[in-house]
Amino acid sequence: MSHSHGTLQVTIVEGRNLKDKDIVGKDDSYIELYVDKDYKQRTTTAKDTNTPAWNETFTFPLRKHQDELHLHVYDDDAVGRDSIGSKTVNLKKHVFGQGVYDAWVKLPAHLGLGSHGEIHVIIQHNA
């Protein structure tokens, strides 16, 4: 058993219906993603749109027992950033041994009522 558990390739394709609860209108949104909190990556900021198209691909080295991908979507504003929503993808369930995971991931609203939009992601595990 080797120590390296391959790499995770994550493509953030696009988003739709993204909503920052505090702001009416369009968001300047970006996504921060990580498997390990010490190694976060982020997309560019998509300006003035609720249907951003990022089409950006990220690679993460995987270590043993790392089986969750965290996605945090933020609205960048003058004061700082507001959270639009977040989602954790269970790699064990959806990705490992499954080939390519290509899906629209819902950003659940607080208490699970409704949604703050969806992100289209493509995740591939390369052993």
pLDDT at 58 > cutoff 90:
yes
Kindly report the pTM of this predicted structure: 0.89
Q: CA-to-CA distance for 27 and 77, rounded, in angstroms?
A: 8
pLDDT digits (tens, 9 = 90+) for 6-22: 999 999 999 999 886 66
Q: Does an H or E element contain 18, and which?
A: none
Instruction: Please report the domains of the chain, with CATH numbers, ordered by start residue.
Output: 7-126 (2.60.40.150)
126 strand-pairing partners = 7
pLDDT digits (tens, 9 = 90+) for 18-38: 886 666 678 899 999 999 999
- Give the separation between CA 23 and CA 58, rounded to whole angstroms: 29
